[in-house]
Structure 1
Amino acid sequence: MLQLVYVSSANRREAPDPVRILATSRRNNHRDSITGLLYSDGTRFLQVLEGPETKVAEAFARIEADPRHRALVVLSRRTIEAREFGNWDMAHHAPGADADAIIERVAALSANASSDVRATFDGFAKVRRAA
């Protein structure tokens, strides 16, 4: 099973709609047996995809072609024995929302991830809280 972690920025010309992204992602990921976590604050995205190697690669190719994303950087790509993020979920930090609550939610959602991946999500959430 493949686990891929990437970060990207929202393309300001293509305003991201987190509700629409979540609905489409849930549909596609369920179909392709992909799970993971997407953290978004509307400006930056940090996502982990876990599942069959070909399906994760196809999903990432769709993301790379999506005009709502720019400056995609793969942070980690590794083979895993078991899913570290369980069922798909999305954490979204809306402007004015309780930043500490989102950090706690991200920590809970990434609790079973490897220490490196968990630290990536924790650090990202904390940095984005300050942004």
Structure 2
Amino acid sequence: MLHQITYISTARPGLSLSDVEAILARSRRNNRQTGITGLLIFDKVRFLQVIEGRLPDIEATFLRIAVDPRHRAVVRLSQRQIDAREFGQWAMASHVVDEAGSAADLVGQVDALTETLPDPNLRATLRSFARIRGAA
């Protein structure tokens, strides 16, 4: 039985892109060991992440994130049971907006990463997150 958690959080002030790259590297390594797959989007201010796998594994991962001082205001947006992985074998696909990244880049990348997601609500959540930055 697989489960999926989607959450949003605010990055602590001063979090650098190299900090985010370090988070991704460690997440990918840990996720491969525990069988977690998913997607992380970072827009220089907020994280939006989906993690999926066995319930004990994603709950433990979510709890580590919730107490990580690099995250503030961690909010679980959804949790659900899934029949199959929606992020295939991605240990952690990602899109991180760098200093040169534009809102259009974020929207295009997130649209491409979510094109094949079977759940329209999850696809809409991820795509809306990308578009909010463009409207700000």
Distance, in Å, in 1 between the alignment partners of 2:62 and 2:86 is 18
**Aligned 1:21-60 pairs, distance under 5 A:** 21-60=23-62
Q: Which runs of 4+ in 1 moved over 3 A?
A: none
Provide Cα deviations, 1:24-50, integer angstroms capped at 9, x if missing partner. 110111111000000001210000001
- Given the alignment, which residue of 103, 106, 125 partners 2:107? 103
Uncovered stretches (5+) of structure 2, i.e. residues with no partner? none
Q: Secondary structure at the match of 1:74?
A: strand
2:80 maps to: 78
Shift of 1:108: 1.8
8 Å contact kept, 1:110–1:118: yes
In 1: Cα distance, 2:63 partner to 2:20 partner:
19
Q: Is the 8 A contact 1:2 1:52 kept in 2?
A: yes
Q: Distance in 1 between matches of 2:85 and 2:133?
A: 26
RMSD: 1.3
Matched residues, percent identical? 44
1:126 paired residue number: 131
Offset from partner CA, 1:59-118 (integer Å, 9 cap, x none): 001101100101111111000010112212111112331322321211121223211110
Distance, in Å, in 2 between the alignment partners of 1:111 and 1:76 is: 20
Q: What runs of 5+ residues in structure 1 fail to find an aligned partner?
A: none
CA contact (8 A) 1:6 1:73 kept: yes
State the SS of the aligned residue for 1:102: helix
Q: Which residue of 2 aligns with 1:61?
A: 63
